[in-house]
Structure 1
Amino acid sequence: MDPIGQKLLHVAKDQLGYTEKASGYTKYGDWYGKHVDKDAAFKTAPWCDMFLAWAADKAGVEDWAGEFASTPQHANFFKKHKAWGHHPEPGAIVFFSWNGGKSVGDIEHVGIVESVHGRTLHTIEANHNDHLGRATRDVSQVVGYGYPSKVKVKAAPADQKYVPKHSAPPPSAEALTQQPGTPQSELQTTAQHDSAPPLPDQQAALTGLLAVVVFGTVALALSKSKVRVPMPAAPNVRVRKRGKHHRTPVELPAEVSVADLDLAESSTTIMPILSAEAAALAEDKEFWGKITELEEDVELAFWDTLHTALSQPSSAESLNV
């Protein structure tokens, strides 16, 4: 008998006689919709496979037996885990096809084998005439069997034992000097009853051993420590980028030298003097221009006065009239 299937049979026998309620409601579909697929529609769905999921959960073997509402998917679960076959045995999950098909897609019903007698199977099936009960089937109606105990389940990370990756602690000096085959208790007893001082050779060996251990520890620490070598600071190099305003210098004509340019530049020192003289001339011109305007105004005023005097009759002419 399949040992996992035996646990399922124990739970199934306690549920014999259960009948689905109005509208096809079952407690197994209700449980499946709340805990497996999170869909309330399962509480009124066909429940032959959902009962097995419920029983597996109650028996604590859901990882081996699977939790499905679809019988073809349940069969593929056993195929995937290489726990599928065609040999009937008590505790096996049996998948049926009423039309005689032998492929997974032809599966229409599922149950659990309680006993086998030749070509006759005695099963416990849910949703059999709307209730949970025993049935008798012929092997010709069987597509295949799933064997829960053959499903390989990996242990959870919490169940795996911790295996340290580091090496074991170094042996003590006494263990290193211990002769092969000498029990530790015998060494301790000898040390307690032997009051003679240790031999010089033993002291030298222990001293040399400790020196090697200390030297190795220091060397290991130095090899793991990071040595920082001061590096010269990199010079602060300024790179001048060529912008759009930067143009290639114009080449001098062959007859013009740099000395000619320097000479021409030195001869332009008289320009400030000429500029000052030109400014003075401009100021004088502006001044005399204003004086000229004043003179013209005085002259115009004279002629205006003369014209006024001539246009009015004199006092002598008035007396003659």
Structure 2
Amino acid sequence: MQLQKIKQSEVNQMSIKSDLENFVSIAEDEVGTTEGKGGYTKYGDEFGDPSGSWCAHFVDWCAKKAGILTTKAMASCPYIPQEGLVPNVYDWYKANRRSLIPKMDTSSANYPKLGDLVIIDNDGETTGTDHIGIVAAVSGKTVTVIEGNSSDMVQKLDYKNLVCDKARISYLCSNNVSY
């Protein structure tokens, strides 16, 4: 009987997948949570901003609970940066070569995957870095995203062909692949 050797890269990919599944599970457990009086959230409070805009703090909070939050300037997958502002999150992923233009083609490396982050354009302006969410599922051309501070609560929304109502996914921040 021969034992099959498992490549270190395969072990790393299994570990990344497990970490990201845990990250998404933590986010899913928060769906329906609303902000409190004066805009208070436990997500912002955790990072010293209890009543501020909290979509990025929600991502940070989930990543911290999953053990994949980092304060390093550079980091490999699946680490997520501790940043309180969406443009800063985008800049971090861009510096780490993990920011991509999403494509809804399953054969594309830019196809969203479980645990990736998506940067969302809510207002059609050129920056496209207004909001952030966590990819909870992908099926064909539909991306299911968990978002903090979506109508003052944590919500799970479906983006069909990258669009949900007036919002559009503008960037994919990969937590599955570093290039």
Structure 1's unaligned 5+ residue stretches are: 34-41, 153-321
Q: Which structure's relative contact order is higher, taking Cα pairs within 8 Å and 6+ residues apart?
A: 2
The answer for unaligned runs of 5 or more in structure 2 is: 1-12, 71-78, 103-109
Return the TM-score normalized by structure 2: 0.72
* Counterpart in the other structure of 2:24: 9
Q: Measure, in 2, the Cα distance between the counterparts of 1:129 and 1:99.
A: 15
Q: Which structure shows the higher helix fraction? A: 1
Q: Shift of residue 151 of structure 1? A: 5.3
Partner residue of 1:25 out of 40, 58, 61:
40
Instruction: Write out aligned runs for 1:10-89 (5 A).
Output: 10-33=25-48, 42-63=49-70, 64-85=79-100, 86=102, 87=110, 88-89=112-113
What is residue 115 of structure 1 aligned with on the other side?
Answer: 137
Aligned to 2:47, the other structure's residue is in SS state helix
Candidates 90, 93, 98, aligned match of 2:114: 90
User: What is the distance in 2 between the residues matched to 1:15 and 1:118?
Assistant: 25
Which residue of structure 2 lines up, in the alignment, with residue 217 of structure 1? none
Contact in 2 for aligned 1:97/1:109 (Cα 8 Å): yes
Query: Considering only aligned residues, what root-mean-square deviation do their CA atoms show, in Å?
Result: 2.1
Contact persistence 1:124–1:135 (CA under 8 A): yes
Whole-angstrom distance in 1 between the partners of 2:159 and 2:124: 13
Cα distance in 2 for partners of 1:49, 1:68 equals: 7
Query: C-alpha offsets along residues 43-69 of structure 1, whole Å, 9 cap, x if unaligned?
Result: 100111101111111111012111111
Q: Which amino acid aligns with 2:117?
A: I
TM-score, structure 1 normalization: 0.41
Percent identical residues: 27
Alignment length (residue pairs):
142
Return the offset for 1:19: 0.8
Query: Compared with structure 1, are the counterparts of its residues 26 and 151 closer, same or farther at alpha carbon in structure 2 (3 Å cutoff)?
Result: farther
Q: Distance in 2 between matches of 1:18 and 1:151?
A: 32
Q: For 1:150, what is the secondary structure of its paired residue?
A: coil
Q: Which runs of 4+ in 1 moved over 4 A?
A: none
1:150: which partner in 2? 177
- Report the AA paired with residue 37 of structure 2: A
Q: Give the residue type in structure 1 aligned to 2:58.
A: F
Q: How do 1:296-307 residues align onto structure 2 when only pairs under 5 Å count?
A: none
